[in-house]
Amino acid sequence: MQDTKGQASLKVLEITASGRNDGSVSRMLSADLVGALEERHGNMELTRRDLSRGLAFVDEAWINANFTPAEERSAEQRAALAESDALVEELKGADVLVIGVPIYNFGIPAALKAWIDMVARARLTFRYTENGPRGLLEGKKAYVIVASGGVPVDSAVDFATPYLRHALGFIGITDIDVIAADRLNSRAEESIDAARVRIAELIHTAPRLDTRVA
């Protein structure tokens, strides 16, 4: 979409996964980053996806529908994939992905894992080649805000951050910046301040993202 001056809008998809609303650091910092993007680029379209409201999990009906060629799917199979199809289109339409994620028990929340399962779709977001899988969502930018009570981000016991890097890279999103707000139980103010400094550095000193929008 373009504005009245013909400038393409920067399309941003914000994914929030915390089970908390009030007091959620990952939600707060995601909002800060989205606000910084809007201040930096001005002409922006924002879509918000709050995963705390729940997503369906992959089940037998979903698997059978997904492995059935699209032109052969029954009405029931199309219905089984409807939510997944919508999430894939939402992601494909975004130029920038902002993910706010808390670390729960050393990993990501179940709702975010369900979202990844819904968008990692052969022939839609990746395909198999003679050289192995290839992601189809190249050219997008991702910011991942990771909050934790005690786990240091990118430490040996952080299984959330490397998993998200790998899962996003698998579908072609490899331009990823991680913003850490970790060990909040012992150094909340220091960690949040550092995350905000990092957001400002990433958004306001980097080249404008909307120059990449066709």
Question: In the chain, what are the domains?
Answer: 10-212 (3.40.50.360)
- Checking if the pLDDT of 86 tops 90, the result is yes
pLDDT band at residue 8, thresholds of 50, 70 and 90? confident
Query: What Cα–Cα distance (Å) separates residue 71 from each residue in 10, 29, 76?
Result: 33, 43, 13
Share of residues in the chain with pLDDT > 70 (%): 93
- Checking if the pLDDT of 206 tops 90, the result is no
Query: What Cα–Cα distance (Å) separates residue 155 from each residue in 119, 146, 152, 167, 184?
Result: 27, 13, 5, 18, 15
pLDDT given for residue 7 in this prediction: 60
Average pLDDT in the 116-144 region?
97
Mean pLDDT of the chain: 93
Q: Which residue has the tokens 């910092």?
A: 29
Q: Which residue has the tokens 């219905």?
A: 79
- Checking if the pLDDT of 127 tops 60, the result is yes
Q: Count of CB atoms within 10 A of residue 10's CB?
A: 24
pLDDT given for residue 4 in this prediction: 43
SS3 67: coil
pLDDT given for residue 28 in this prediction: 98
Helices assigned H by DSSP within the chain: 25-41, 60-66, 75-92, 110-119, 161-170, 184-204
Average pLDDT in the 157-175 region?
98
More reliable by pLDDT, 3 or 207:
207
Token pair, residue 49, equals 């996806």
Q: Is 58 left (phi over 0), alpha (psi -120 to 50) or beta?
A: beta
Nearest alpha carbon to residue 64 among 56, 55, 54, 73:
73
Rounded to a whole number of angstroms, the CA Rg of the chain reads 18
- Checking if the pLDDT of 112 tops 50, the result is yes
What's the whole-model pTM score? 0.92
pLDDT digits (tens, 9 = 90+) for 38-59: 999 988 999 999 999 889 999 9
pLDDT band at residue 213, thresholds of 50, 70 and 90? low
- CA–CA separation, 86 vs 126, rounded Å? 16
CB 145 within 8 A of CB 30: yes
Q: Which residues are CB-neighbours of 147 under 8 A, at least 6 positions away?
A: 18, 24, 25, 26, 29, 100, 101, 102, 103, 181, 182, 184
CB 1 within 8 A of CB 45: yes
Token pair, residue 126, equals 């990746």
Q: Which residue has the tokens 């139980």?
A: 185
pLDDT given for residue 210 in this prediction: 62
